[in-house]
Amino acid sequence: MGRYNNDDVLGTGNNNCGRKCGNRVSPVQDIVHPTETVVRTTTNKRRIRNIHPTEIINVNRTVIRNENYYPVTERQVNETVVEDFDCGSNVNNPNNCRPRRFF
């Protein structure tokens, strides 16, 4: 590697002028601008089928009506009550009868 003379490279010498250019060269200054953002949008179309099913229920209804009746029956009962009296020995005098007691 060789040594560089400050006058051989543009912009590196004290007077900022090289041998090959007879003009005065200003020092290099970089100006960085904000990054430009480019948005590329790719559009893909999709078809969405919204299906709303409907269910129909056919109901066959049977109604049972419970009817409650309370018929009344009537009947005759013949009842016989036996009472036992002690009337003594006189058949013609029923006033002497007393209820008979059982022990």
Give residue-wise pLDDT tens across range 36-48. 999 899 988 888 8
Residue 10 lies in a domain: yes
The answer as to whether 8 is a domain residue is yes
Range of the domain at 17: 1-27
Domain membership flag for residue 6? yes
pLDDT at 9: 47
Question: pLDDT tens for residues 7-20?
Answer: 444 444 455 555 55
Structure-token match 């601008």, residue found = 33
Six token digits for residue 91: 């058949």
Of all residues in the chain, the percent with pLDDT exceeding 90 is 26
Residue 31: pLDDT band by 50, 70, 90 thresholds? confident
Task: Please state the pTM of the whole predicted model.
Answer: 0.25
Mean pLDDT of 69-93: 88
Q: Does the residue 16 lie in any domain?
A: yes
- Within a domain: residue 97? no
DSSP structure class, residue 85: E
Rounded Cα–Cα distance for residues 47 and 45 (Å): 7
Residue 4 lies in a domain: yes
Q: CB neighbours of 85 closer than 8 A, spacing ≥ 6?
A: 97, 98, 99, 100
Residue 46, domain member (yes or no): no
Number of domains within the chain: 1
- The answer to the question of residue 35 being in a domain is no
